[in-house]
A and B are shown apart, each in its own frame.
Chain A
């Protein structure tokens, strides 16, 4: 046991746990994979923080590139970020995606040991947030962020404030209402028990006391806990349509009025127990419906991809400016790896724009001076100067979010609201018919009691509960399989889809594994030369190729030079070796292939490596099973180089379109919807964002749920894509469960109405009938969901 432990330690990095390269970095008999990991260990050991490594094995994260943080010195940007500030201390909350284990909590809560100017730091593990209190006189915000980066926890600071978005989402009001409703229900039940068991003559003196107490408890139940139903009912009547809240509000009102009437005139015990129980259960259902994932955001837009600040040039001087303040005519200074935040014209420099955010096309595009560069492009190569021609909010890409014709809510009416109309109508017909009958019989007292009783008994309470209970049970089944749906309404929407649109890059393919192929001839020795060069680079392409080359021995490299966005060069074993993109002087040698990593050894063109994203496994079976009940369609932003391959995956009748711009994708979805299709869209990047938002059910696919995904209705883990037909199957089954429970509820209601129309409904019957029907429904939905989930192979 002990020995095995040793060997695992030896072959992986002590800090991050990744496989060690051939040449390791060493410190105090520990091996590290890179200088970054070693650096973090050094800082931690100097500050007596090595406990970090005792709670978990290899808890670190691999070191990423240096970030530019000049903007954190700007007072206006600091003011935007900070939560609270007084004389000498400030409080700030960061979102840190790297938080993943208990060691992270331990280290980040001991930051004060590294710098005493940090007073305290608190972690919220689920939300991956850290709240830091620090002395801003002794440590600047920039220095604080640098400290975090030094220990390997880079905060994510973007234009859309992730932290503040989360705080907005919390609805404490509902929790308080549930607590109050639970308190009221408990007490009312207690004071109603004597009534249920029958009062002896001696106990009659308490009857009016209990009655008044129950009435007192009913007031907050109806007007505080139930106020949302009244508000919702009034607004829906104003808009001339009836939702489920309308009959519910009516019932709450009738229950309250009848209780007040009976207590004040001492004619009976009233319906306070039914009223408080109903309100409590309704609020529980509402809570289930609102409950969502704390750690996943479904409403991201371009702002979460954009940095908070950009460098501008003013008379040749660099100045960081908040993106919201960028005006037309400003000069921007964009360095390697930085994003162009607004549509701009290239003024100076050699621009190689990686437009994969916008178009899905992975090869960088060369832009010449004077050409327009659209927002969302990422510069790869030297720093460039741009002149802004449109403000950030009106750029080509961001315009996708300002589109007016996004799906409106009336379209998304759910089963409950659609049935509420007929339900309310039915209840009113019965109630008025009963009243008319008793008035005809000259019994006005019975008319009034029968009218109220019918409305009370015909409570659509079960209807309001079965939907959230069923759908939230389905949500948790999905959740276990890596499918995160935004809310319960979205599950209903999923069940209605009849057309599925796929994006190609990142959706049908995955960046996790890359297939490397080589065009040309390469000998074993040359392989060794090239691998020695690649070993020095941390660029993802280099790492993929190095893995594919599978070379064991390396040469020493002299004069190693890595030009960002271009390639690598150096002297290996006495020969000059170049690997990288095609530069103008190389174009003469090879004219047929443009993409990939080109290899030149000793001024001799050898060939090029093509690194392609690999197709996700199991696509053929997936499409075959989806084809049975869905129309399939592919919209790719890429060129048609993969057409043949796609045709083997998809059935014959599938339409496959290439070179689709983000706006064209959006148009395509709109056209499908215009022909009465209910469209599900699967995509991954910003280029699909418009289409995802417009579609009836947008699924963002990702290999790591902590990565940013565009706004959508659900997030699907890449390896769960094969389960898509099962997910759809279960959502459809869920709708059937809801309909079945509606049928059961109607049975219970018929029994109640039988007594109600005769005007003989005793409160006890109402108070017993409601909980029994509720419990039946909850049990039924829970068991039915589990059985159907098993049938769909999801449990």
Chain B
């Protein structure tokens, strides 16, 4: 029953109410959109193993990462998941290369440096590998975060509002990176964002979340055309 891709179902009444279920196929970008407090970040954290819901199931490529019925729960370090945090969450005491290398502990020590360098050049950061996060710009830090997430050789890539902390121009560049990456990686990718334009441009499918429930799933152009959805998302942005 090895079903490729990500399948998620999460249910709990509190403290953060959730009732979601969706799938994401390999190579597909699924956007999670919704007003603040809708539970989007919670869903990502639950998939990564940083948050445990009362009930639900998370399966990836046939392997079960979480199943409340059988009591299976893999801690985050046992899941091969790539998570790009909103505020990069880089290790401040390590250089860019060392940051990436942390995620390479599965590989023999001798290979780690060259692999880290390769990943950094993939995100166009050659020459900056010895710099510490404090010495990098916001956009550069996010690239390191992406490289580190990829270094894990993840089965799922999760992006939690990855570009909200950078300026517009950098954001456009980084979005282009994601588009390029998506062609190379054949894994499910989840993108949580506030930015409706961004999700329209990057996502293959959208999941609209409101107060922990999925209201609607579908292609961006279809979903975003609906007036109720636009009101929900843009009304919130205007406010």
- Asked if A and B are interacting partners, one says no
